[in-house]
Amino acid sequence: MEKQALLYEGKAKKVYATQDPQLLIVSYKDDATAFNGLKKGVIQGKGVINNQMSNLLMAELEKRGVPTHLVRELNPQETLVKRVSIVPLEVIVRNLAAGSFSKRYGVEEGLAFAEPVLEFSYKNDGLGDPLLNDDHAVALKLATREELAVIRAYALKINRLLQGIWADRGIILVDFKVEFGRLADGTIVLADEISPDTCRLWDAQTREKLDKDRFRRDLGGVEEAYRQVMERLSSGL
Ligand code: TMP
Ligand code: ASP
């Protein structure tokens, strides 16, 4: 399968057409941005790590009943995926307070919730990805009620599965963001990526941050953190 026209270039990935109209090639970049593109940088080796980690995790999720866009890894930085139309929602699941939740509600990072908190943001950089509820999403025709129910159930299942995978490796899954897409027949599948760019991962012993917050907050050791989580994930999968 070979890359044809560049269809889309985002902040962290490029998407190419292929000979097959139902398949696309995703190419992961080392570029990193934060705060809606205001902060820019490069995380050496991130493209390879995010591609490989996302594929390992999506393959595990598929095995356990979550449909995904994954077809196969083509090379360390590129993957063949099913073409979807992205549901313009950022689906966030939180197990501990952090980031925008802590800021918005004035609670300390690290506060553990009794149950996971699921939230939707409208995927719209121009508006700064505003938080929205089911009624807003339906009113804006971003998704139907039925699709929202499917998305919610998958997101919570993904949380349970990923929490287990990371816990086995001494890592706390604090929160994460996923995106879903529709196949040509309307089936909802997990799309986009699952990586240290899109998850908060803390060492269970030391609570050290092992994710993109090291870049967002200028904590240093960004590359080392990405390498470490990838190493811990590959041991034993
Ligand atoms: P938040 O606390 O900043 O809302 O982030 C929640 C989770 O979503 C966190 O794991 C990081 C991830 N995330 C993204 O994947 N993309 C984004 O643009 C933002 C703001 C957060
Ligand atoms: N990727 C997002 C951006 O540039 C933000 C983030 O991950 O913090 O803006």
Provide the pLDDT for residue 237. 58
Return the number of other C-beta atoms located less than 10 Å from residue 219's C-beta: 12
Q: For residue 198, which atom of ligand 2 is closest to its CA?
A: 7
Q: What angle do CA 117, 67, 194 make, to 5 degrees?
A: 55
pLDDT at 236: 65
Give 106 Cα–ligand 1 centroid separation in angstroms.
17
Residue from 50, 92, 117, 202 whose mutation best tests the ligand 1 pocket (most atoms within 8 A of CB): 92
Average pLDDT of every residue of the chain: 97
For ligand 1, say whether the CB of 28 is within 6 Å of any of its atoms: no
Q: Which ligand is nearest to the CA of 217?
A: 2
4-31: pLDDT as tens digits:
999 999 999 999 999 999 999 999 999 9
Contact present, 107 and 101 (Cβ < 8 Å): yes
Q: Distance between the two ends of the chain, CA-based, in angstroms?
A: 27
Give the integer Cα–Cα distance in Å for 100 and 110. 13
Complete domains list, the chain, with CATH: 6-82 (3.30.200.20), 85-234 (3.30.470.20)
Contact between 53 and 115 under an 8 Å Cβ cutoff? The reply is no
Q: Where are the beta strands (DSSP E) in 29-170?
A: 31-34, 39-42, 70-75, 78-82, 85-86, 89-96, 112-122, 131-132
- How far out from the chain centre does Cα 105 lie? 23
CA distance 58 to 69: 9
Q: How confident is the model at residue 192 (pLDDT cuts 50, 70, 90)?
A: very high
What is the bridge-based pairing of β-strands 78-82 and 85-86?
unpaired
Contacts of 164 (CB under 8 A, 6+ apart): none
Q: What is the pTM of this model?
A: 0.97
Mean pLDDT over 41-69 rounds to 98
